[in-house]
């Protein structure tokens, strides 16, 4: 059995899709969901899917504590699904090549510190890009610089606003993220 843990910061729509997807995969188990915001909707998603959830607060967000907790839960892979906190380098080193993230742009464009959510979409629109998309990548010690696993794009119309772009990007995320995670885990587990 391969155990994965999801980390999220917001509403948990990607976490919801991932949990639904992996319910049908017998050899991969989503053990738990961690969140760094006590009011995040992701907690409701965890409850809906009957999995353990917990808050990464300031006290527990220490590298040694994180690694100990992950080891206690026998976590093999970590999935960042809208997780906005920088993962400590010690955790990245302990889980090297086993942490995956999704980013709402076609990296390397519009990546890095403070480039998330609507900030990315606004920059894409401000620069009059004709296409945007998502990047699924491994996590390393630099924001959004890890090995790219997959990218999917969508075209922009000249009259698209942030809401339009956000909806298109979220649709791509929901369509592709879970299956790419699955393929990536299987390739890493061979």
Instruction: Say which of 103, 121, 137, 176 is annotated catalytic.
Output: 103
Could you confirm whether 121 is annotated as catalytic? no
Closest CA to 8 of 29, 50, 38: 38
Q: Are 138 and 147 in contact (CB under 8 A)?
A: yes
**Count of Cβ atoms closer than 10 Å to residue 20 Cβ:** 14
Q: Return d(Cα 75, Cα 80) in angstroms, integer.
A: 14
* Alpha-helical runs (H) found in the chain: 13-22, 42-48, 63-72, 89-94, 117-126, 162-189
* Residue positions annotated with a catalytic role: 103
């Amino acid at each position: 059995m391969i155990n994965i843990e999801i980390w999220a910061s917001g509403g948990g729509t990607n976490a919801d899709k991932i949990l639904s997807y992996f319910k049908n995969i017998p050899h991969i188990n989503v053990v738990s969901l961690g969140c760094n915001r006590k009011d995040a909707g992701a907690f409701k998603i965890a409850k809906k899917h009957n999995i353990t959830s917990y808050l990464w607060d300031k006290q527990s967000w220490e590298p040694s504590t994180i690694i100990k907790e992950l080891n206690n839960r026998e976590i093999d892979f970590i999935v960042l699904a809208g997780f906005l906190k920088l993962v400590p380098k010690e955790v990245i080193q302990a889980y090297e090549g086993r942490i995956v993230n999704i980013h709402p742009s076609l990296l390397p464009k519009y990546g890095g510190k403070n480039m998330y959510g609507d900030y990315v979409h606004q920059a894409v629109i401000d620069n009059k890009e004709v296409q945007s998309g998502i990047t699924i990548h491994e996590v390393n010690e630099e924001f959004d610089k890890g090995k790219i696993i997959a990218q999917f794009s969508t075209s922009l119309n000249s009259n698209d606003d942030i809401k339009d772009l956000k909806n298109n990007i979220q649709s791509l995320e929901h369509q592709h993220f879970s299956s790419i995670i699955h393929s990536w885990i299987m390739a890493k587990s061979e």
